[in-house]
Amino acid sequence: MKPVEIIVLGFSQGACLALEYAARNPLQYGGIIALSGALITLEHNGEMKNTPVFIGCSDDDPHIPLERVLMTTKAFEKMKAHVTKKIYHKEGHRINEDEIAAIKKIIKETK
């Protein structure tokens, strides 16, 4: 199967939906980026063939439990995605400069 040159990206509820969409439609995407989000459901099948997945979240996010982020990481690893998980200390529910750098890297590598 040919890789799909699409990057699925979201923040907060958008990150949850981006992750869920990609997990329910497993392909080799250009990338999946979730900022302060996690999967809604955890039982997914299929293979993502080393799709780069970036999951960034704070350890004190009031909306996204850290345990859910860890479970999401495992779910994508099970689907053979290449997952980068970054847990930021006391950053709350926001996007930071490190996450922006990760987004730029994935976009550059997808071109």
Domain CATH for 58: 3.40.50.1820
Q: How many domains does the chain have?
A: 1
Average pLDDT over residues 83-102: 96
Cβ neighbours for 94, distance < 8 A, ≥ 6 positions apart:
36, 58
* Distance of alpha carbon 106 from alpha carbon 78, whole angstroms: 21
Other Cβ atoms closer than 10 A to 17? 15
Average pLDDT over residues 72-92: 97
Give the chain's length: 111
Tell me the percentage of the chain whose pLDDT exceeds 70: 96
pTM score of the predicted model: 0.93
Residue 99's domain spans which residues? 4-110
Average pLDDT over residues 1-13: 84
* Distance of alpha carbon 84 from alpha carbon 41, whole angstroms: 20
Average pLDDT over residues 16-35: 96
